[in-house]
């Protein structure tokens, strides 16, 4: 651990010198005056006084610097049979024109624009066009239902929504327009316009508020990059917390650009002219950071893939893309690899492809089980790098930093804290625990550039949710430990957040939906292990006295309610109607104990339990493969 150790140490002992150097990779209109503004703890700001434009750094700079004809973006869509390539010049021109469209619609610096789109190039163009004008985008994952979109519209208060007529889920066409109309109807805030990309698979019915992307673009004038402050927001990305109200994670312009550019070189070892593919969705943070911004900031070619790892057309889909587009670095969630492994355990489909240029597989978004790690490593013969981060940080907290030094891998561990992150493990009292002992994973403030400076219009919520538990430290919400050599092990969330197939969801929010049904007296939802998706939600409901509903029909109705309100990604794996829920004497539902039993652990009866018979009554159906009502 020579180079890593030195760089890591310097990042903590001299953060301003370290990040000032890293900032030289970015074009500034005005150089920052203060690298780290720590005058108002616990709020920290990076690169104060600096002005830049993120879109300029992602596109124009490369066009002007000799990469105009290099591929910037490769759109590969097996679900529609379309492939399209944009050079840096083409992507810059398209983006500048859409920025002109936005400007023509009155969008200016600081205005919010919600982007609710499938994985099509126009989504990337819309994001970059907002950045070009200094407008703040808020991308909402296309798998979220109307209510989720409405909640985000009400919080971000966008002047405009950019969307498409449909998304495609393997073979199913999902019409977006009815979802948008429903969301706008439900929301109190009403955006002035919606701009719709009409796709051939479905025609959206257009109302007065709706404008056609292609018609607008046909008459658009390009718009230049608008200088913004380093501390101005680039985007808001909502993420699941413990309640039905998602958290609006804010990302600034300056810190974000510097951190992502640094990460491409030092974490991903991927450089200008090379091909980087993040097989995720632009609706998630991985998509923001590593489909759109980081590869373009670094002058790479990014791949925008509209499809799944399996079924489009088969479990060889990823290898076909990797070969065809000469991908050096692939980044996806472990669940994608579990899906491939299930269909093609011996890699028969993989060996058909020439993967000579393929160098790295990076995995994040959920825990990488050692089994999948070993399988992928043996099959591919390249480093498989588990790395850990969150929407809030925007880039890796812990990783094996390939561009600095390849450290020995320990399966089950995302290796070491990335330079800039001072990671500690605390017990409930805020004392650091010894190696091997599990506790809360926290990060000492200030966090490095790129991490959230606050929540959207909610400094207090930011401080309460993340900074109040251990003053001076950011609470990650993950539990874990470090071994004697400092390797970090992330064991799972300690709150109501679960990760289903790499999608971050709130069990608290699912409970809110169940509790809103008139027949439901109480309920509990928790995550249980799943071979493919890592975790899936399962639930229990207790009915109000006197309700005589058929339990099967009610369970199906309740599960459907969750799908309709949150989205199909939140489908319950199982829901049981039960006579009572186990609680402590103070009335707290014992979700953790139930989750443990459901995951096959022999959980002891907690000493605080109110009535052990209730828990014992549930044990048989809690156990894995126990009889159930819904599967």
Q: Cβ 498 to ligand AMP, closest distance in Å? A: 9
Rounded least distance, CB 392 to ligand AMP, Å? 7
Q: Using CB under 6 A, pick the residue from 388, 456, 473, 487 that binds ligand AMP.
A: 388
Length of the chain: 631
- Residue numbers at the binding site for ligand COA (CB under 6 A): 142-143, 167, 169, 174, 280-281, 284, 286, 308-310, 332-333, 335-336, 339, 365, 500-503, 568-569, 571
Phi, psi of 200 (to 5 degrees): -65, -20
Q: Which is nearer to ligand AMP, 499 or 573 (CB)?
A: 499
Q: Whose structure tokens read 């971000």?
A: 156
Q: Which residues pair with 271 in a beta bridge?
A: none
Contact 375, 341 (CB under 8 A): yes
Distance of closest approach, residue 368 Cβ to ligand COA, in angstroms: 12
Measured distance CA(219)–CA(386) in Å, rounded: 46
Element (H, E) at 553: helix 551-565
Q: Which does 390 bind (CB under 5 to 8 A by kind): ligand AMP, ligand COA, none?
A: ligand AMP
Provide the minimum distance between the beta carbon of 387 and ligand AMP in the complex, in angstroms, as a whole number: 6
| Closer CB to ligand COA, 48 or 569, in the complex | 569
For 490, residues 6+ apart whose C-beta sits below 8 A from its C-beta are 367, 388, 398, 414, 441, 478, 479, 480
Distances (CA, A) of 390 to 59, 114, 237, 395, 451: 26, 21, 12, 7, 9
The CA dihedral of 212, 208, 162, 309, to the nearest 10 degrees, is: -70
Q: Residue 477, interface with ligand AMP (CB under 6 A)? A: yes
Q: Closer to ligand AMP at the Cβ: 157 or 504?
A: 504
Q: Where are the alpha helices (DSSP H) in 43-120?
A: 54-55, 61-62, 88-104
439 belongs to the binding site for ligand AMP (CB under 6 A): no
495-554 positions binding ligand AMP, by CB under 6 A: 499, 504
Partner from ligand AMP, ligand COA, none contacting 366, C-beta within 5 to 8 A by type: ligand AMP
499 binds, among ligand COA, ligand AMP, none (CB under 5 to 8 A by kind): ligand AMP
User: Between 258 and 376, whose beta carbon lies closer to ligand COA?
Assistant: 376
By beta-carbon proximity to ligand COA, the closer residue of 149 and 475 is 149
Tokens representing 506? 């709130």
Which residues ranging from 203 to 242 are in contact with ligand AMP (CB under 6 A)? Answer: 239
Name the binder of 388 from ligand COA, ligand AMP, none, CB < 5-8 A by kind: ligand AMP
When binding is defined by CB under 6 A, the residue of 54, 266, 289, 391 that contacts ligand AMP is 391
288-347 positions binding ligand AMP, by CB under 6 A: none
Q: How far is the CB of 224 from ligand AMP (least distance, A)?
A: 34
Q: Cite the beta strand spans of 54-147 per DSSP E.
A: 71-77, 82-87, 112-116, 136-139
Q: Which option in ligand COA, ligand AMP, none does residue 332 bind, with CB closer than 5 to 8 A by kind?
A: ligand COA
Kindly identify the residues of this chain, within the stretch 24-83, that bind ligand AMP according to CB under 6 A. Answer: none
**Is the separation of the CB atoms in 149 and 140 below 8 Å?**
yes
In the complex, minimum distance from the CB of residue 144 to ligand AMP, in angstroms, rounded to a whole number: 13
Q: Quick check: helix, strand or coil at residue 54?
A: helix
CB of 246 to ligand AMP, least distance (A): 11
Interface with ligand AMP (CB under 6 A), residue from 157, 341, 387, 565: 387
d(C-alpha 587, C-alpha 211), whole Å: 52
Region 356-385 residues binding ligand AMP, contact defined as CB under 6 A: 364-368
DSSP H or E stretch at residue 172: strand 172-175
The tokens for 519 are: 């027949």
325 with 294: CB under 8 angstroms? no
Contact between 246 and ligand AMP by CB under 6 A: the answer reads no
* Beta strands per DSSP E along 501-594: 503-506, 520-530, 534-543, 574-577
x-marked contacts with ligand AMP along 566-605 as a string, rule CB under 6 A: ----------------------------------------
Compute the CA torsion angle 255, 330, 417, 47 (nearest 10 deg): -10
Residue 380's closest CA among 322, 304, 309, 310?
322
The least distance separating ligand COA from the CB of residue 252, rounded to whole angstroms, comes to 23
Task: With H, G, I as helix, E, B as strand and everything else as coil, classify residue 167.
Answer: strand
Cα 200 to chain centroid distance, Å, stands at 29
Q: Which is nearer to ligand AMP, 8 or 388 (CB)?
A: 388
Of the pair 220, 441, the CB lying nearest ligand AMP is at: 441
Residues 411-430, one symbol each (x = binds ligand AMP by CB under 6 A, - = not), give ---x----------------
Nearest to 511 by CA among 526, 494, 528, 529: 526
Query: Minimum distance between the CB of residue 170 and ligand COA, rounded to whole angstroms?
Result: 7
Residues in contact with ligand AMP by CB under 6 A are 239, 284-285, 364-368, 386-391, 414, 477-478, 490, 493, 499, 504
């Amino acid at each position: 651990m020579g180079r890593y150790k030195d760089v890591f140490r310097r990042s903590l002992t001299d953060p301003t010198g370290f990040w000032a150097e890293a900032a030289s990779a970015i074009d500034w209109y005005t150089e920052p005056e203060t690298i780290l503004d720590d005058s108002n703890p616990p709020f920290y700001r990076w690169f104060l006084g600096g002005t830049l434009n993120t879109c300029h750094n992602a596109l124009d700079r490369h066009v002007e610097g000799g990469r105009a004809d290099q591929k910037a973006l490769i759109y590969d869509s097996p679900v529609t049979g379309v492939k399209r390539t944009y050079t840096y010049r083409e992507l810059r021109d398209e983006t500048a024109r859409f920025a002109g469209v936005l400007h023509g619609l009155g969008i200016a610096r600081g205005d919010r624009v919600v982007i609710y789109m499938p994985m099509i190039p126009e989504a990337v163009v819309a994001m970059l066009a907002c950045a070009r004008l200094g407008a703040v985008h808020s991308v909402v994952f296309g798998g979220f239902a109307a209510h989720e979109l409405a909640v985000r519209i009400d919080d971000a208060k966008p002047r405009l929504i950019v969307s498409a007529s449909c998304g495609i889920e393997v073979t199913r066409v999902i019409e977006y327009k009815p979802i948008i109309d429903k969301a706008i109807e439900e929301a109190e805030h009403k955006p002035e316009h919606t701009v719709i990309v009409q796709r051939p698979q479905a025609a959206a019915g257009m109302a007065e508020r709706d404008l056609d992307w292609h018609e607008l673009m046909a008459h658009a004038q390009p718009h230049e990059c608008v200088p913004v402050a380093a501390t101005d927001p680039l985007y808001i990305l909502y993420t699941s917390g413990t309640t039905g109200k998602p958290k609006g994670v804010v990302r600034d312009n300056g810190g974000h650009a510097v951190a992502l550019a640094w990460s491409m070189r030092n974490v991903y070892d991927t450089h200008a002219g090379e091909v980087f593919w993040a097989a995720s969705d632009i609706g998630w943070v991985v998509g923001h950071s590593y489909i759109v911004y980081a590869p373009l900031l670094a002058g790479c070619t990014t791949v925008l893939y509209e499809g799944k790892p399996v079924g489009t057309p088969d479990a060889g889909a990823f290898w076909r893309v990797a070969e065809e587009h000469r991908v050096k670095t692939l980044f996806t969630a472990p669940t994608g690899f579990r899906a491939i492994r299930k269909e093609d355990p011996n890699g028969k489909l993989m060996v058909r492809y020439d993967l000579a240029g393929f160098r790295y597989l990076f995995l994040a978004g959920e825990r990488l089980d050692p089994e999948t790690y070993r399988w992928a490593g043996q099959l591919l013969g390249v480093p498989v790098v588990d790395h850990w981060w969150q929407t809030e940080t925007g880039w890796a907290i812990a990783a094996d930093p390939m561009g600095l030094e390849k450290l020995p891998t320990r399966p089950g561990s995302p290796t070491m804290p990335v330079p800039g992150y001072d990671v500690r493990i605390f017990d409930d009292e805020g004392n650091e625990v010894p190696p091997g002992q599990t506790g809360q994973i926290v990060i000492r403030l200030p966090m490095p550039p790129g991490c959230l400076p606050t929540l959207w219009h909610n400094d207090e919520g930011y401080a309460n949710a993340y900074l109040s538990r251990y003053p001076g430290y950011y609470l990650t919400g993950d539990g874990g430990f470090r071994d004697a050599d400092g390797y970090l092990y992330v064991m799972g969330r300690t709150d109501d957040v679960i990760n289903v197939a790499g999608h971050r969801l709130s069990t608290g929010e699912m409970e809110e939906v169940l509790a809103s049904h008139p027949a439901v007296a109480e309920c509990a939802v928790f995550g249980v292990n799943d071979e493919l998706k890592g975790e899936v939600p399962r639930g229990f409901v207790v009915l109000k006295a006197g309700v005589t509903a058929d339990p099967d029909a009610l369970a199906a109705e309740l599960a459907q309610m969750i799908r309709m309100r949150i989205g199909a990604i939140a489908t319950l794996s199982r829901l049981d109607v039960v006579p009572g829920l186990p609680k402590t004497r103070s009335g707290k539902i014992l979700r953790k104990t139930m989750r443990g039993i459901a995951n096959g652990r022999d959980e002891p009866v907690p000493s605080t339990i109110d009535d052990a018979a209730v828990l014992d009554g549930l044990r048989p159906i809690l156990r894995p493969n126990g009889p159930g009502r819904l599967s």
